[in-house]
Amino acid sequence: MTDLPEIHGPCPPRFAAVKDAFAANFTDAPEGLDELAAAFSVCIEGETVIDLRAGWADTARTRPFEADTLVPVYSTGKAVMATLIALCVERGLLEYDKPAAGYWPAFGQAGKAAITVGQLMSHQAGLPGFDEAIEPGLWFDREAVLERLCAQAPMWRPGSASGYHPITIGYLAGELFRRVDGRTMGTALREEFPGLDLWIGLPEAEHDRVAQLRKPTSAPDLGPVDAVKQAAFLDKGSAPGGRGSAEWRKMEIPSANLHGTAKDIARLVNVVANGGVLDGRTLLSPEVLVEMRRERIHGPDRVLPFDISWAAGLMRNEGLHIFGPNPTAAGHCGWGGSCAFVDPDANLSAAYVMTRQSPHLIGDPRAVRLHDALYAAL
């Protein structure tokens, strides 16, 4: 339990219970999860209606957590990545049901020629990690990573099951995007959404705005470990080295190192909940939204110890019940507890970021408490 810091940001009276829940995460959180700093933002029909923040941007408590404090949100960035891929589908550059190798011939090696874009984005490609352990520094050589993944055979029959790709999906989807769009995802994010404080690849000039995280006190529970989970999470080189370093922040890893604010994450993904519209611009058609959000596969995931209904880059709420009560909601969680989700039934999106990380792989109880309070107030 910690003292309650001053809470900043708008929260209309009808959502007072959300502000109470936000405060309770500081003063009455599960053991070891009391907040150091956090932010929670909700966007409804394109308008930010809640944008709460409180706490300190550093563990020494010398820098207040400001409106422009950036937080690394790890896999929560996959929701942004999925939206960028959907933009390519909207523009006719990609089709979810066409083989990825049709756009990127080298990817079709070693039994991967028939894997569709939709299967790749829903973690069915069988490439959750490397089949032989690598040095963590290899992740900083994008071309070397892609060469190895292209040459590698799937670790299970593609399309037969999902198996969460923690890091590799960012390299694969990022390269697919680059080949059809001509830009990296980091460049496209800045150019397509110039008013949003979101970064895939953070310039060094912005590093002083980044909040300091406190790592989880225990490891996540992956369930029984096999070779697939070992490659995805546990091998020496299963994740990039130097997380939090200047080199890591500057690298573009769409699946793992998005930096941003809760407000602007919620605003960007609101396009998926709000009929494809953001700030008056129609970016995604109803047809593409249906294809993006529909179920691609549902069942026991080979990597995460959950039954998951996967859309094209998003976890669907059906069966998980972590993004409010509506089964059509979908989103993504990040290492340590951050998350973002969209609910087309309510034209609503929300994002939660924090600095004290937890071991929960999905459905951090602090975020779920906020989601439950939000829906109780609607």
Which residues are annotated as catalytic? Answer: 75
Helix (H) or strand (E) holding 42: strand 37-44
Helix (H) or strand (E) holding 34: none
Taking residue 295's Cβ as centre, other Cβ atoms within 10 Å add up to 13
User: What is the SS3 assignment for 374?
Assistant: helix
Question: Which backbone phi and psi does 227 adopt, to 5 degrees?
Answer: -65, -30
Q: Which 8-state DSSP code applies to residue 106? A: G
Question: Which backbone phi and psi does 272 adopt, to 5 degrees?
Answer: -80, -25
Taking residue 47's Cβ as centre, other Cβ atoms within 10 Å add up to 11
Question: Which backbone phi and psi does 189 adopt, to 5 degrees?
Answer: -60, -45
- Contact yes or no for 294/304 (Cβ under 8 A): no
Terminal-to-terminal C-alpha distance of the chain:
29
